[in-house]
């Protein structure tokens, strides 16, 4: 039964990603990172170290992807600051994995949640402006290729 639920969840997530715009994908990534941190915390409390490792690896991978998605050409200072924040969170997660430090997980969760909430609550006009800029950038890249 657990495998069936896992398979359904995987297909559901894949379907959501395929139909999502870049803004929605970023929100989903933050959701995934936050969920993974919560799972890791519970796993540490229950001494389920394999689950802790899996959850923290997923969170680190998501944060790495978010960092790699930053566009320093569009906003150098913002990209640099978020890059530092993601690196800090990754370091805290790696440290927490070794030391089983729940406080570090709480700190990372506390840093990521407001970012996810801000993305989730972004006004529609701002989303459309961002998508328009992304379309323009992609058009320029296609034209020069």
Please spell the DSSP secondary structure of 32-63, one letter per residue. Answer: HHHHHHHHHHHHHHTT-HHHHHHHHHHHHHHH
Average pLDDT over every residue of 34-43: 98
pLDDT of residue 129: 77
Establish if 140 belongs to a structural domain.
Answer: no
Establish if 46 belongs to a structural domain.
Answer: yes
Q: How far apart are CA 145 and CA 105, in angstroms?
A: 43
Of all helices (H) and strands (E), which one includes residue 100? none
Tens-digit pLDDT profile for residues 74-110: 889 999 999 999 999 999 999 999 999 999 999 999 9
Q: How many domains does the chain have?
A: 1
Specify the CATH number for the domain of residue 29.
1.20.120.340
Range of the domain at 47: 21-121
Establish if 47 belongs to a structural domain.
Answer: yes
Tell me the whole-structure pTM to 2 decimals: 0.82
């Amino acid at each position: 039964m657990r495998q069936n639920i896992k398979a359904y969840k995987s297909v559901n997530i894949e379907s959501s990603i395929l139909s999502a715009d870049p803004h929605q994908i970023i929100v989903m990534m933050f959701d995934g990172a936050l969920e993974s941190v919560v799972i890791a915390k519970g796993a540490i409390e229950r001494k389920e170290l394999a689950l802790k490792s899996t959850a923290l690896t997923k969170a680190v991978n998501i944060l790495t992807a978010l960092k790699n998605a930053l566009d320093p050409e569009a906003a150098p200072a913002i990209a640099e600051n978020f890059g530092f924040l993601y690196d800090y969170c990754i370091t805290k997660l790696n440290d927490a994995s070794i030391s089983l430090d729940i406080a570090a997980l709480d700190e990372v969760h506390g840093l990521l949640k407001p970012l996810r909430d801000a993305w989730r609550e972004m006004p529609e006009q701002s989303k459309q402006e961002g998508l328009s800029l992304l379309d323009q950038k992609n058009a320029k890249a296609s034209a020069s290729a």
